[in-house]
Amino acid sequence: MKIAVLSGKGGTGKTMLSVNLSYISSNAYYVDCDVEEPNGLLFFKTEEIDIHNVYNKIPVIDHDLCVRCRKCSDFCQFNALAFINGKIHLFPDLCHACGGCSLVCPVDAIREKDRILGRVYKGSYQHVAVLSGELNIGEQSGIPIIKSLMSMVEEDKNVVIFDAPPGNGCPVMETISDVDYCVLVAEPSVFGLHNLKMVYELVEVFGKKAGIVINKANNHAMIHDFAKAYKIPIIGEIPMDKEIGRLLSEGVVLAENEKYVQMFQSIMDKIDKVVKS
C-alpha cells in the first residue's frame, strides 16, 4: 500500500503525520520526497546512512569538431546554450538534461557527462526503512532525486509512506503518480484552506482516493465545511496541543509514546479500509 501525504501549504504537518504513520506500521518505508527542504531525518535519526549521488547529463561540446551551425542552441528550449564569439557556451543550471542538443548536432560534436544534482540517503530507524533525498542549492528541479528515491523502494515492505513536498507543482505530481491513497493534511487557517483546495484539485485530476487529516485542530469548522461540500472524508484530527508542539520541536516521534498511537492507528485503519475496498 502506497500512501502520499500532502498539504499544499508548508508547515501544516506532512512530515509529522508521515513519520508517525510509518512508525506505527510494522513493516514500512518512510520516503521524504521534499528534496528541497528534507526534514524527516530530524525525527528519524538514523545512525548509519548510505549516501549516493544523483546525477543528470549535461552536454560537453568538442569545439574542434563543432561546425558552428548553431542547431543545438536554436533547439534548446531552456536557453541553456549560447553562441558567443564563434563558440557554443553552456549554462549548466538552465540545462534540463533532455539530450536534444546532442541529437540535433550534425557532426556528433556533443557528448554528455554526469553532473551531480544532489544526494539520496538510505538508513533505518528501529523497524522503519528511511529514504531521504537532498537537492543541491540553486538547482532547478528535484524530480531526478524523487525518481531516484522511488527506484530505491523495494517490494519488501507492505506500507510505503511518501512525505510530499509542499505546493501542487511537478515534484508533488511525481510523488503521487503511483500511490494508492493521498492524505491531505489541513491546517485550519485561511491560507491552509486555500492550499488544501489546490492540492485537492490536483488529486482529483490524478483520480486518487483521498481523505483529510486536520492538524492543529481548533476552530476548524471551515475545513469541515469544505470537506462536506466536496464530499471528502475527514479521517483524523490532531488537536492543537502544547505538549504535542513541544515534543515535535524536540524531534520526538509521537507514536513512540503509547498515548499517541491510537490517534495515528485510527487514521491508518481508515486508509487501509478504503484502499482495500
Partner 1 sequence: MIIALPIESDAKNASVSEHFGRSPYFYIFNSQENLGKIYQNKHIEEHGGVGVKTSQMMLDHAVQILISPRVGGKSLDVLNAGGIHIYESVKGTAEENIKRYLNGQLKKLF
Contact between 170 and partner 1 by CB under 8 A: the answer reads: no
Least distance CB 166 / partner 1 (angstroms): 21
Amino acid of residue 89:
H
- Spatial distance between the Cα atoms of 181 and 179, rounded to a whole number of angstroms: 6
Contact between 194 and partner 1 by CB under 8 A: the answer reads: no
Binding mask 108-147 vs partner 1 (x if CB under 8 A, - otherwise)? --------------------------------x-------
Per CB under 8 A, the list member of 68, 89, 228, 246 interacting with partner 1 is 89
- Spatial distance between the Cα atoms of 46 and 43, rounded to a whole number of angstroms: 9
> Helix (H) and strand (E) counts for the chain?
9, 11
- Asked if residue 41 lies in contact with residue 121, where contact means CB atoms within 8 angstroms, the answer is yes
Q: Tell me, what DSSP letter sits at residue 231?
A: T
Contact between 85 and partner 1 by CB under 8 A: the answer reads: yes
Residue numbers 215-234 binding partner 1 by CB under 8 A: none
Least distance CB 54 / partner 1 (angstroms): 21
Sequence-distant (6+) residues with CB within 8 A of 54 are 116, 117, 118, 119, 120, 133, 144, 145, 148
Per CB under 8 A, the list member of 1, 69, 82, 198 interacting with partner 1 is 82
Contact between 75 and partner 1 by CB under 8 A: the answer reads: no
Q: What residues make contact with partner 1 under the rule CB under 8 A?
A: 73, 77-80, 82-85, 89, 91, 94, 140
